[in-house]
Structure formats: C-alpha cells, structure tokens
Amino acid sequence: MTLEEGSTVSAVALAVGSTLLGQGIRAVLTGGACVSIYTRGAYHSKDVDFVLPPSVRREELDNAMATAGFARQGDRYEHPRTPLYVEFPAGPLAIGQDVAVRAVEIRRSGRRVLALSATDCCRDRLAAFYHWNDRQSLRSAVLVALENRVRLAMIREWSGKEGASSRFEEFRTELASARKERRARK
C-alpha cells in the first residue's frame, strides 16, 4: 500500500500497524485514528496514535517507521506524501485507571493493526469527556457505539469506577437520541 496525499487515516494506521507488526513491534492504535477506523471514516483525525510496549527503543522505532516511509521530526513521524503524522504517546496502554486493556487485531485490505476494541475505543473517548469535559470526545464515543457492538454494561461499570456514573447517563442519552434519529431517517 502506497501512501499519498489522499490516504485516509485508516489507510495510514493500517500501513504503519502492519509495518510495526512485521518488525516485531506490538504497538496499539488508540485515539482519533481508532475512532476513524470504527466509524468507517465518519470521524477525521489529523494524526495516528500508537502506544508502544516499554521495551521498544527509539532506534528500533525509527528504523521500523523508515520502512513505512516515515521520518522522525521531533516527537512525531512524518511521511512526504501525506499530511497525516504518527505519534507514540507515553504508555502504559490504559483507559482512565484501567490498565488491563487488551488489544484486538483488525485486518483490512491485506493489512493488520493492533487496536483498541470498539468497546475500549468508546471508553477511551469517554475518558476524555469525563475528565476534561471534551464534548467532541463524547460525540466520538456515540459514533463508535452507533456503528459497532459495544459492551454497555462494561462501560457503565468502568464509568462508575472512574467516578463518572452521571456522565455515563449523559452518554447513554446521547446514544439513544442518535439511534432514534438514525431509525427516523430509514
């Protein structure tokens, strides 16, 4: 897969994820790029975030990213043919206080990437809503839950542990409204 100016966030995430896995690096896709994959491009991100295992050295990562055509520019990796860039935020892989997060493998177009599950992607966006009152993250969580099967009982339980039960109810209300609106359009 050749990256170019019009490459989607999903295409970049899959290209980088496949390259990293091919180099033995088990990085996990998170953030807006994960939302983009689960919403089939309905959500747009300007970057692609992966969380690395702690054992990966900078030189090892630089070499793997060079294989995918990316060069390090400060704290991010850029490709000459796409405005999208790749970042590796500090780990560990966690959602709020939950560090028992398991990645899933997504396969598309002969590529594969380790990523948050749809449920964990939803929780990741809700964490930003709960802790920073980020309304865009609430909308992203609703989009993910609207387009995918997510485990609402698990999200409710986790929300309680995060001290955000009332905010979870706001999410449920927004999701119910979005589902009703979708049915009305059909």
Q: What span, in angstroms and rounded, lies between the C-alpha atoms of 174 and 180?
A: 10
- Give the containing element (helix H, strand E) for 106: strand 104-108
Q: What span, in angstroms and rounded, lies between the C-alpha atoms of 177 and 167?
A: 15
Which two tokens mark 108? 């598309």
Task: State the CATH number of the domain containing residue 73.
Answer: 3.30.460.40
Please report whether residue 34 resides in a domain. yes
Q: What span, in angstroms and rounded, lies between the C-alpha atoms of 124 and 35?
A: 10
Q: What span, in angstroms and rounded, lies between the C-alpha atoms of 40 and 120?
A: 17
Q: What span, in angstroms and rounded, lies between the C-alpha atoms of 183 and 131?
A: 31
Residue 91 and residue 77 in one domain: yes
Residue 70 and residue 81 in one domain: yes
Which two tokens mark 105? 């493998």
| Sign of the CA dihedral with 158 first, then 141, 118, and 144 last | positive
pLDDT digits (tens, 9 = 90+) for 82-133: 999 999 999 999 999 999 999 999 999 889 999 999 999 999 999 999 999 9
Domain span at 140 = 118-185
pLDDT digits (tens, 9 = 90+) for 120-172: 999 999 999 999 999 999 999 999 999 999 999 999 999 999 999 999 999 99
pLDDT of res. 32:
96
pLDDT digits (tens, 9 = 90+) for 15-45: 999 999 999 999 999 999 999 999 999 999 9
Residue 103 and residue 78 in one domain: yes
Residue at token pair 């802790």: 131
For residues 175 and 109, the model is more confident at 175
Please report whether residue 2 resides in a domain. no
Short-list 104, 97, 89, 105, CA closest to 123: 97
Q: What span, in angstroms and rounded, lies between the C-alpha atoms of 50 and 88?
A: 5
Residue 34 and residue 99 in one domain: yes
pLDDT of res. 168:
98
Residue 17 and residue 107 in one domain: yes
Residue 111 and residue 140 in one domain: no
Going across the sheet that includes 104-108, the strands are 71-73, 76-79, 82-87, 47-51, 28-30, 111-115, 104-108
Residue 28 and residue 99 in one domain: yes
